[in-house]
Amino acid sequence: MQASNVFKETIQQNLGPVVRFLDDPTVSEILINGPKEIFVERKGKLEKVSAEFPDEDALRAAVNSIAQSVGRRVTDDEPRLDARLPDGSRIAVVIPPCSRKGTTVSIRKFTNNKISFGDYIKLGAVTEDGARFLDICMFLGKNILVSGGTGSGKTTLLSLLCTRIPKGQRIIVIEDSSELQVDYEHVVMFETRMANSAGKGEVTIKDLLKSSLRLRPDRIIVGEVRSSEALELINAMNTGHKGCMGTVHANTPEDAIVRLEALAQGGDAKISEKALRSQVSSAIEVIVQVSRFADGSRKISHISEVLGFNPDGSYQLAPLFVIPKMTRKADGTLEGRLEPTGQIPSFMNEIIDNNLPFPQSKFLKTSTPAA
């Protein structure tokens, strides 16, 4: 508690011009592009604000104090900072001369607001049938990859999916910085550690994945797959750990699985391209694409099944639900619904055998009236 109070005092003293945005629940991110240019994000939309720092020295002093409060530093030799603040928020900094407009700062605020699939449906992020199908995938223990761009809502969706894991399992969550809010009885949370000033003591997602396999996990959740740990996750999925999940930065389901393959190629194991593709296509069963649209809304735009790969080496994906088009309303918001494509999932028999209330008719393509 005392450390938390000290941190709050540090924020108050050094980030005075933006403190009110840190306290504003409608603001999700603060972007400082040098001392005289500050933007905030509200409901997915950026807006410039009048607040500013006196000069570059004042902004740099603020950054230095915050870095010291979390045991880090920003210097000419280390011109970048990426850290988690005590309240769970993330701060990223780049200083001159790398940043030509002055010290650049991004503070992505941590939110404690927990939402349910019911809330997710009310927000228009997914349809009832789409949510129910994802619920079924979680029940059946399908390995799921959540794909999306920065700020698209991947972490929110992954947290939601975790709440639908059947009871009685042991979940291990691995993240660079703890962001997932997993409301579950038996969950173990791991967080990576950066190297110290001497370049020692680093603990990576890959390291924690290797350790987690010896800690009797039922499901392994990786907050974001961004490096060679992809191969470890794929191996875990292919060795009996059903229902594993992770997120990747990609704009389409096709891009997501190709990116996962590219990340896995950076692993230690020497494996042929064909063998790697076979392992990737066997490991990942469902890809959920979440997108942030021009009006700031975030929606699930695709739910696709991975069926293997084609003779030409490309992955074979079957879109099960997609948003076919978005239309702009008079108020500027975009409207579009997740609709079935007519493709039946290969595990339909599993749904039937488990007496799950999701008939095959739910996958039939919605007929659209003629214009």
Residue matched to tokens 């699930």? 300
- For 207-243, the pLDDT digits (tens) are 999 999 999 999 999 999 999 899 999 999 998 889 9
Give Cα separations from 16 to 20, 39, 168 (angstroms).
8, 15, 47
Ranges of beta strands (E only) in the chain are 27-33, 38-42, 45-49, 80-84, 90-94, 104-108, 144-148, 171-175, 187-191, 219-222, 245-249, 286-292, 298-309, 315-322, 327-328, 334-335, 339-340
Choice among 92-96, 277-281, 364-368 with the minimum mean pLDDT: 364-368
The residue type found at 299 is K
**CATH number attached to the domain at 117-363:** 3.40.50.300
Residue matched to tokens 């709050």? 8
Query: 272: buried, middle or exposed (CB in 10 Å: 19+, 13-18, 0-12)?
Result: exposed
Cis peptide bond prior to 97, omega within 30° of 0: yes
- For 320-368, the pLDDT digits (tens) are 999 998 888 888 888 889 999 999 999 999 999 999 999 999 999 876 5
Q: Give the model's confidence band at 25: pLDDT under 50 very low, under 70 low, under 90 confident, else very high.
A: confident
In the three-class reduction of DSSP (H, G, I as helix; E, B as strand; rest coil), residue 246 is classed as strand
Q: Give the model's confidence band at 6: pLDDT under 50 very low, under 70 low, under 90 confident, else very high.
A: low
CATH topology of domain 2-108: Beta-Lactamase (3.30.450)
Residue matched to tokens 């409301």? 183
The structure tokens listed for 143 are 């390995």
- The Cα–Cα gap between 229 and 175 comes to 12
What are the two backbone dihedrals, phi and then psi, of residue 275, each rounded to the nearest 5 degrees?
-65, -40
- The Cα–Cα gap between 101 and 119 comes to 40
Per-domain residue ranges for the chain? 2-108, 117-363
Q: Give the model's confidence band at 371: pLDDT under 50 very low, under 70 low, under 90 confident, else very high.
A: very low
Q: Of the candidates 102, 100, 83, which has an alpha carbon nearest to the alpha carbon of residue 91?
A: 83
Query: 65: buried, middle or exposed (CB in 10 Å: 19+, 13-18, 0-12)?
Result: middle
CA angle 84, 206, 168 (to 5 degrees): 85
